[in-house]
């Protein structure tokens, strides 16, 4: 959920910065006034033959590219194999704004990319119900193992993060009540 909040904040900042920059910049004068302005434009960028992980995480997953295409989830994480290649995509399905969302893993070879309205779409040939029927993604095997602690000549594992239950402190003995001093005459 915090990842979604950070991504939304970064996107809002990016849009606001672009709008500010667009409103405050003036076009540069062409070097040759007789040359048309279109020749001075930068060349179009050739799309790369790959994707950045930061562009994938948070992207919406659709079940097609047609007008009836439905949003069926969003990419929450990527699963890498031992060689560093993307083996799977963790898709969050159900819920609202990350609350009640279930993460499921989809093999990367089942993910397709499509261009629509000048944007890249992640497309999965499945319905929201089919994704929701998949088993929940278990991230525990991917979490790092606890660091070993060296004590003497043996190595022990680090203690768990769960604190031991605390016992109540013994009650302090009550002090005997002293009689009030007699009034001075």
| Annotated domain spans of the chain | 52-135
Q: What is the pTM of this model?
A: 0.53
Look-up: residue for tokens 């799977």? 88
Task: Say how far apart CA 61 and CA 132 lie, in whole Å.
Answer: 13
Residues 6+ apart with CB under 8 A from 74: 58, 59, 60, 61, 91, 92
Q: How far apart are CA 91 and CA 122, in angstroms?
A: 11
pLDDT in tens, 32-80: 555 555 555 667 777 677 777 887 888 888 888 888 888 888 898 999 8
Residue 116 has pLDDT above 70, yes or no: yes
Torsion (CA) 10, 14, 20, 24 in degrees, nearest 10? 140
Percent of the chain with pLDDT over 70: 60
Neighbours of 124 (CB within 10 A): 19
| C-alpha triplet 69, 72, 117: angle, nearest 5° | 40
* Per-range mean pLDDT, top range of 39-53, 146-160, 161-175: 39-53
Which of these, 131, 74, 81, lies nearest to 98 by C-alpha position? Answer: 74
Higher pLDDT, 33 or 151: 151
pLDDT at residue 99, as a whole number:
72
Q: Inform me whether the pLDDT recorded for 154 exceeds 80.
A: no
pLDDT of 23 > 80? The answer is no
89-111 pLDDT per residue, tens: 998 888 766 577 888 889 988 88
CA-CA-CA-CA torsion sign (71, 73, 77, 79): negative
Tell me which long-range contacts 95-99 makes (C-beta under 8 A, separation of at least 24). 97/1, 97/4, 98/1, 98/4, 99/1
pLDDT value, residue 10 = 72
Within 8 A by CB and 6+ apart from 78, the residues are: 53, 56, 57, 86, 88, 89, 90
User: What kind of fold does domain 52-135 have according to CATH?
Assistant: SH3 type barrels. (2.30.30)
């Amino acid at each position: 959920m915090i990842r979604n909040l950070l991504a939304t904040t970064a996107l809002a900042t990016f849009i606001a910065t672009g709008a500010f920059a667009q409103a405050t910049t003036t076009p540069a004068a062409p070097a040759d006034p007789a040359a048309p302005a279109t020749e001075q434009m930068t060349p179009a960028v050739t799309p790369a033959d790959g994707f950045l992980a930061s562009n994938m995480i948070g992207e919406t997953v659709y079940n097609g590219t047609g007008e009836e295409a439905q949003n069926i989830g969003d990419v929450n994480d990527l699963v890498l194999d031992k060689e560093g290649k993307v083996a799977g995509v963790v898709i969050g399905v159900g819920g609202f704004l990350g609350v009640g969302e279930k993460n499921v893993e989809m093999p990367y070879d089942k993910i397709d990319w499509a261009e629509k309205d000048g944007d890249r779409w992640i497309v999965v040939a499945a319905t929201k119900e089919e994704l929701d029927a998949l088993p929940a993604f278990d991230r525990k095997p991917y979490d790092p193992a606890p660091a070993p602690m060296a004590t003497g000549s043996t190595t022990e594992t680090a203690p768990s993060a769960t604190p031991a239950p605390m016992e109540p402190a013994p009650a302090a003995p009550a002090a005997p009540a002293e009689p009030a001093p007699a009034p001075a005459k």
